[in-house]
Chain A
Amino acid sequence: MAEVATNPSVDVTGKQEEVTISTVLPLEIIDKSIGKVVTVLLTTDKEFTGKLVGFDDFVNVVLEDVTETDSEGNTDGPVKIMLLNGGQIAMISSTED
């Protein structure tokens, strides 16, 4: 499901061309973050921080030991393991690197 960078891939302009290593693929970055702690920021000013365990094509996300933070900053959790609906995800930031 995540393309390996060296395969020729269609870039946004629709032209088929050899993709140089420098253009990274977003889903591949998410795939590389599996097992790491990530922060998932929603479009509704909520945030979830936890270890990324898996995701699917719609980027629904499975997280472990998750703390939830809302816009005013108060937190909730931790929740052992959860499946977060991908519909409202704005960004996934991998804080560790």
Chain B
Amino acid sequence: MSEVSSNSSIKTDPSTFLSGIIGSKVSVKLNNGVSYVGNLQSIDGFMNIVMDTTAEFIGGAASGTKYGDVFIRGNNVLYISKV
């Protein structure tokens, strides 16, 4: 990260953000708009994601589909957010 930056105090780069949310409840939105909410177990450089007790949300509403553990392939991931 660059040494010269006026507001380095509140900076979080992606890898710090990811290691901070391992184990907590996250929502993963795919390119097509479907979201999966569950506890983040692990994530890698391709943004492949493993979560458990996962629920599927479509257009913001729960679709009723639930998965125990889930592996999501990274190329479909638009964003991952902390719930």
Contacts and interface: CB of A to CB of B under 8 A. Distances in A.
Contact of A54 (B12, B47, B81, B82): B12
A35 interface: yes
A60 interface: yes
Contacts of A32: 5-6
Interface string A61-97: 1100010000000001001111111011000000000
A66 to B, nearest CB: 8
B16 interface: yes
Which size class do A's interface residues fall under?
20 to 34
B61 to A, nearest CB: 12
A79 B11 contact: no
A4 interface: yes
10 contacts: A2-B2, A35-B10, A54-B11, A55-B14, A56-B14, A61-B14, A76-B60, A79-B27, A82-B79, A82-B81
Interface of A: 1-2, 4, 28, 31-32, 34-35, 44, 46, 48, 53-56, 60-62, 66, 76, 79-85, 87-88
